[in-house]
Amino acid sequence: MKTSLMTFSMMRDGFVKTIDADLLARIIKEGGYEEADIMEFEFRLYGEDALLAALQKYGIRLGCLITGLPFYTAPDQVEGGIRNALALAKKAGAKYLMIVPGANDAADQEVCRKLGKEEILRLTAEHFRKAVALTEPEGIQVIFENTPHAMKPLAAVEDVRWVLDAVPGLGLAFDTGNFRVADVHADELAAYELLKDRISRFHLKEVRIGDFPDGEKCVNGQAIKAVLTGSGVIPMEELIRRSLVDGYDGTYAVEYAAPADSHGAAHISCVRTYLDVITAMEKKTFLHCPQSDFPGLTKKVSRIFFGTAAMPMMMGANAEILFDLAMAFGINAIDCARGYGNAEETLGKWMKARDNREDVVVLTKCGNAGPGGSVHIDRKVIEEELAMSLEKLQTSYIDIFLLHRDDPKTPVSEFIETLNEAKAAGKIRVFGVSNWTHTRIMEANAYAEAHGLTGFTVSSPNYGLTRQVDDPWGGECVTIAGPENAEARAWYTANQMPVIAYSSLGRGFMSGKFRSFDYDAAKKVLDPFATKGYLSEDNMRRLAAAERYAAEHALSVPQTAMRFVLSSDMNVFAAATMSGFRRVLENVIAANERMQPEEWKALDAIE
């Protein structure tokens, strides 16, 4: 599978000099791409000679040169523009020259409204015939994409077919996302079948549809916005599969939508993530996390919750690639808290930018432990922190709202009544607790039942293959792992209350970054909280058992630990932080199979 990177979304960095020609070529190379699709304007921005030299230095081919020409506003300038672009394409060794018909600016839109559909199509065909006549003798093919300009009849499949039939020798850059401009319910698979005989190049463009002020406008007034491959509405995996089955051996150009806060060399990991997802689709290793019903919610909930108690979320930095990646793999549940720095704000900005609030299951928590492990939670704390969470998350409701700690000084009646009021007001859908013992949950739910109120319906204790040997953070953290907590696990198994297990991999203890009984290596990997909570001889025995199981089943240690959690007879969901593609994919692979009961019991029995 040959891939090319479309680089135009990084031009903003070129304007402010955070990317030069050399760095652009390095981003392409280190991102894993063989080719680049580059706009003619980018050669002017970075310097024609400098960019050509940089591409040669890093061994990157210019697969396609892209230029825009004023087909409708200044038709007398088109031929000169074709000749200029052709000269550059020849110099750079490009095989394809893609011409975008028009600029989609105010002047272009006004002229096209006056011309009407038939005249736009006639002019389009006329100019493309001229382009083909000029480029064919030079061995360069002119291609055009189904164009995302709402006022032009060039995004609908039947109009694209008309242009292709009217211009022999014209190739198609099949843009997977742009058909939605003409019809937000477009069927890309049907479009592929109708157009596949003329496809010269694929543009893999994933999109979401919504009311995006910065998106490409659709005919119906909505807009499309490019996002990470797999995280939108395009049947990308099936399109790739069908094209390969049909014998397509051309290049797949990846439309990269640069994250707002990514600059310079930071783009390398981002463009690599796009390629990783596409490669997984090609190799059929692309999986979706299992999802299930959740009491009190109408949405299906992924068995893995994407944890935000990590960088860059806690620092408030842009994390859209990570969130998009989670969604691409079917992880639609996100674990947040007031105590996780700026994580709620980061999540809220992403949901706003993606217009995807109804697709996301948001869990957040109030009432975390303070300095020294002190805890104070009452009606005032709940109401104030819930209001802050709603504001930071830019939402009117929370799907799952938890008390982060227990405060025995506050009667359970105050907790239950306050949360029932918030639920009745539509601010939360379901509520529960984190770090509460099952006996305290029973006490609170008994009060709720006696007073005709809703009780706690979800709990988030620590649970995993590792045993929490000491309270990592203070504030009476509660674990249900280990032989001493068998009674609690039996209670959860009997009533099937959802358990959202935090630190399900022992806060890195089961990361696979050190071997069992190598205490020196463990201390270098684990932070002080993990060292306090999980570094122990019995956990080293559990790690050794996980290493054996992983070797026998072609898994990693963290996959083994994740599969153990999700194979419990309890109704368990696992919260886990994930730093990138590999970790997300590993967790999803682990979640897609359960351990055999006897294997699970053997691991669970380790003391």
What is the chain's length? 607
- pLDDT-derived band at 124 (thresholds 50, 70, 90) equals very high
| Measured CA angle at 200 (ends 277, 130), to 5 deg | 140
Q: Are 506 and 534 in contact (CB under 8 A)?
A: yes
The first and second tokens of residue 194, run together, are: 């109708």
Mean pLDDT of 96-118: 95
Show the tokens assigned to 184.
């937000």
Mean pLDDT of the chain: 96
For the chain, give the percent of residues with pLDDT over 90: 96
| Residues of each domain in the chain carrying CATH 3.20.20.100 | 291-507+558-594
Encoded tokens for 511: 């990361």
Say what the pLDDT of residue 143 is. 98
Phi and psi, residue 304, nearest 5°: -110, 130
Secondary structure (DSSP) of 64-126: EEEEEE-TTT-GGGHHHHHHHHHHHHHHHT-SEEEEEES--SHHHHHHHHHH-HHHHHHHHHH
Query: What is the predicted pLDDT for the residue at 370?
Result: 82
**Token pair for residue 193?**
């079948």
The per-residue DSSP string of 279-323 comes to HHHHTT------EE--TT-SS-EESEEEE-SSTTTTTT---HHHH
Q: What is the pLDDT of residues 385-417, one digit of tens each?
A: 999 999 999 999 999 999 999 999 999 999 999
Q: Is the pLDDT of residue 202 over 90?
A: yes
Question: Does residue 372 surpass a pLDDT of 90?
Answer: no
pLDDT beyond 90 at 434: yes
**Across-strand partners of 460?**
434
Averaged pLDDT for residues 106-115: 95
| First vs last C-alpha separation in the chain | 49
What pLDDT does 50 receive?
98
Find where tokens 């639920």 sit.
Answer: 423
Amino acid at residue number 297: L
Q: Where in the chain is the domain with CATH 3.20.20.150?
A: 2-282
**Beta strands 223-227 and 572-576, pairing class:** unpaired
**What is the DSSP secondary-structure string of 264-275?**
GGGHHHHHHHHH
pLDDT of res. 316? 87
Angle between helices 438-450 and 412-424 (to 10 degrees): 60
Q: Output the 3-class SS for 141-209.
A: EEEEECCCCCCCCCCCHHHHHHHHHHCCCCEEEEECCCHHHHCCCCCHHHHHHHHHHHEEEEEECEEEE
Task: Give the Cα separation of 405 and 32 in Å (integer).
Answer: 45
Given the DSSP bridges, would you call strands 333-335 and 199-204 parallel, antiparallel or unpaired?
A: unpaired
Note the CATH number of domain 2-282: 3.20.20.150
Strand-pair partners of 364: 401
Tell me: pLDDT of 134 over 90. Answer: yes
pTM of the model: 0.94
pLDDT for 180-198, tens place per residue? Answer: 999 999 999 999 999 999 9
Give residue-wise pLDDT tens across range 496-544.
Answer: 999 999 999 999 999 999 999 999 999 999 999 999 999 999 999 999 9
Instruction: Compute how many other C-beta atoms are within 10 angstroms of the C-beta atom of residue 130.
Output: 15
373 pLDDT above the threshold of 90: no
Specify the 3-state DSSP secondary structure of 549.
helix
Q: What is the fold, at CATH topology level, of the domain defined by 291-507+558-594?
A: TIM Barrel (3.20.20)
Which pLDDT band, with edges at 50, 70 and 90, does 470 fall under? very high
Predicted confidence (pLDDT) per residue in 3-48, tens digit = 999 999 999 999 999 999 999 999 999 999 999 999 999 999 999 9
Question: Nearest CA to 278 among 10, 580, 2, 24?
Answer: 2
Per-residue model confidence (pLDDT) at position 85? 98
Supply the pLDDT for residue 135: 98
Query: Average pLDDT for residues 592-596, to the nearest whole number?
Result: 96
Report CA 275 to chain centroid distance, whole Å. Answer: 13
pLDDT of residue 581: 95
